[in-house]
Amino acid sequence: MTISDHQQWLVNFYQKRHWYQYSPFVHLGILTEETGEVSRAIRATEIGRDHPSEKKATPAELQANLKEELADVLDLVLVISSLYDIDAQDLLEASEQKLTHRFENEK
């Protein structure tokens, strides 16, 4: 599956769930929440949670949680870009072009 295929799959999924209709501001709020969950997952992986009500996660559980949260963030970026008619592949190309141009004078 390409990233553009996944983006279209997400749009279809969100439309079926009646989530796609929400404004970009609503999706941005959810993206902000998911970014916080990535932060929590990284903290748990790097320094632990040390919370008495939580069991200590295994390295595999920590990795799985981080992967899930990063996927949630990626999905929301793809949905938001779709709301502005920006294809996911174009995002990748724009990123590479920007970085290549920014550092083209380095040796």
* Percent above pLDDT 90 for the chain: 88
Q: Pick from 89, 92, 81: which is nearest to 20 by CA?
A: 81
Instruction: Tell whether 84 is covered by a domain.
Output: yes
- The reported pTM is 0.90
Could you give the number of structural domains in the chain? Answer: 1
Instruction: Tell whether 60 is covered by a domain.
Output: yes
Residue 90 pLDDT > 70: yes
Listed as own residue / partner, the contacts of 87-95 with beta carbons closer than 8 Å and 24 or more positions apart are: 87/4, 87/7, 88/3, 88/4, 88/6, 88/7, 89/2, 89/3, 89/4, 92/3
Token code pair at residue 3: 């990233």
Q: CATH code at 27?
A: 1.10.287.1080
Instruction: Tell whether 107 is covered by a domain.
Output: no
Instruction: Tell whether 94 is covered by a domain.
Output: yes
Mean pLDDT, rounded, of the chain: 95
Q: Which domain holds residue 32?
A: 3-102
Q: What is the pLDDT of residue 33?
A: 98
Instruction: Tell whether 28 is covered by a domain.
Output: yes
Q: What is the pLDDT of residue 107?
A: 67
